[in-house]
Amino acid sequence: MKGKNIIIGITGGIAAYKAAERVRLFVKDGANVRVGMTENAIRFVAPLTFEALSGNRVIRDMFGSEGASMEHITWGQESDLVIIAPATANFIAKMAHGIADDFLSTMVLAATARMLVCPSMNSRMYENPAVKDNLRILEQRGMNVMEPGEGELACHTEGPGRLPEPEDIFEQTRILLSPQDFSGLRILVTAGPTVEPIDPVRYISNRSTGKMGYALARAARRRGALVTLVSGPTTLLPPYGVIFRGIRTAEEMRQTVFDNRQGCDIVIKAAAVSDYRPKESAHKKIKKGPASILLDLVKNPDILALLGDMKKKSPCILVGFAAETEDLLDNATEKLRAKNLDMVVANDVSRDDAGFGADTNIVKLIYEDGRVEESPLMTKDEVADLILDRIKTLL
Ligand code: CTP
């Protein structure tokens, strides 16, 4: 968001309290945020909160001392995006019918920037045909309307009408401001570890946290792809806007990957799959016994190799990862060849600043034609964009 000018318009609904966290998220990510409020919004949260968080004056009154005379015109024309959140039924109606009777509604009417509208209200109000019609009008005029969430509302009823969480509005904004160069493409990403049960309380797994795979899924979604993420257990929240399929074992991952593989243009296998699983998983907890015991392990299917075989019949770009602690280049190149990949992303997981759990990564991209490209140390989000940039050249 560095260098982006974002206007956040807050109207008078109880969800106005969530706007503080959202402003903080945008500012933290480098955006210049200016906040406009309606008189009713001020009944819920004080402008001072947003002035402190954004470092900019909050404007609410067209004729008040806080605004220069032309800011109702300039704000919406100088910014990259105007976000109205929460947008009340009343404000949505004013937008749909061109009513400009305060600073925020006038600024919206004069705006040339893209617009993101986040309705938030009681579910009966949200489902009222008048509100539905008004939202349709906004969409027909090219505005982006974000579906409200469902659940318990502040008015103690249940249903649609909840303002989406600040992180989701932030992510939707990232999508709107990103180049949509993967639009129309379907991408399947796997992430995280698999876990192979020994008995009801123990399992074999690995140190994968899923960060790299989740960063790839998020970046692909931002860039317009339709993304399915198949993930082993992690502590991460599924990225906004992706189809999420949670699995535990390698066998479940194989099944889920093949259920979702059809029609995909790109498959990226960032998951760390257990190569072996216990031959039998005990139904009851194994009790402590002799000084040593043996665990009988059998090999799991190599999902990536199976996908590589399938590529001949149903082509797609297939990208694998290689987690290595020695002979990085040779081992990764061998995996590329053996599994029929278009590209392999090799990382040295013995480094502290790369591989499992780190927020940064340093990778070697190895292509089918033998080319090797080394990245500098980057955040996993940056590495994800680099990988997608390179995949684009292979399409
Ligand atoms: N992979 C897979 N199924 C497996 C094992 C690995 O799909 N049973 C995929 C991983 O998702 C990754 C790539 O194969 O994209 C390489 O995984 P890695 O663990 O680095 O190597 P392995 O092929 O398992 O070989 P080794 O453990 O001997 O290094």
The predicted pLDDT at position 67 comes to 57
**Percentage of the chain with pLDDT > 90?**
88
Exposed / middle / buried, residue 299 (Cβ in 10 Å: 0-12, 13-18, 19+): exposed
Statement: residue 343 has pLDDT above 60: yes
Q: What is the reported pLDDT for 151?
A: 80
Q: By three-state DSSP, how is residue 85 classified?
A: strand
Phi, psi of 278 (to 5 degrees): -60, 135
Cβ(302) – ligand 1 distance below 6 Å:
yes
344 in ligand 1 pocket by Cβ < 6 Å?
no
Cβ-based neighbours of 46, under 8 Å, separated by 6 or more: none
Q: How confident is the model at residue 230, as a pLDDT?
A: 98
Distance 335 CA to ligand 1 centre (A): 8
- In contact, 205 and 194? CB cutoff 8 Å: yes
Q: Which of 7, 145, 139 is nearest to 81 (CA)?
A: 7
Consecutive H or E run containing 52: helix 47-54
Could you tell me the pLDDT band of residue 65, with boundaries at 50, 70 and 90?
low
Read off the pLDDT of each residue in 188-196 and give the average, rounded to a whole number.
98
Domains in the chain (CATH in brackets) are 5-177 (3.40.50.1950), 186-394 (3.40.50.10300)
Residue 206 near residue 227 (C-beta atoms within 8 A):
no
pLDDT value for 314: 86
Angle subtended at Cα 341 by Cα 386 and Cα 257, rounded to the nearest 5 degrees: 90
pLDDT of residue 68: 63
φ/ψ of residue 339, rounded to 5: -105, 10
Question: Considering the chain, what is the average pLDDT of its residues?
Answer: 95
Q: Which residues pair with 372 in a beta bridge?
A: 366
The Cα–Cα gap between 164 and 15 comes to 9
Cα separation, 335 vs 364, whole angstroms: 13
pLDDT given at position 181: 97
Tell me how far the alpha carbon of residue 302 lies from the centroid of ligand 1, in angstroms: 7
Q: In the predicted model, is pLDDT for residue 55 greater than 70?
A: yes
Query: In this structure, what are the phi and psi dihedrals at residue 152, rounded to the nearest 5 degrees?
Result: -75, 130
The token pair at 92 is 């949505």
Say if residues 60 and 51 touch (Cβ distance below 8 Å).
no
Q: Provide the residue type at 53 as one letter.
A: L
- Catalytic (active site) residue 264: no
The residue type of 255 is Q
Q: How many A from CA of 222 to the centre of ligand 1?
A: 27
The answer to whether residue 66 scores a pLDDT higher than 70 is no
| Ligand 1 binding pocket includes 228 (Cβ within 6 Å) | no
Residues 6 or more apart in contact with residue 372 via CB below 8 angstroms = 329, 364, 365, 366
Ligand 1 site, residue 361, Cβ cutoff 6 A: no
Q: What's the average model confidence in pLDDT over 94-99? A: 98
Confidence at 155, pLDDT banded by 50, 70, 90: confident
Nearest CA to ligand 1 atom 23: 335
**Residue of 118, 155, 264, 316 with catalytic role:** 155
- pLDDT exceeds cutoff 70 at 359: yes
pLDDT > 90? residue 157:
no
Q: What is the mean pLDDT of residues 86-108?
A: 97
List pLDDT tens digits, range 7-17.
999 999 999 99
Expressed in angstroms and rounded, the spacing between residue 339 Cα and the centre of ligand 1 is 10
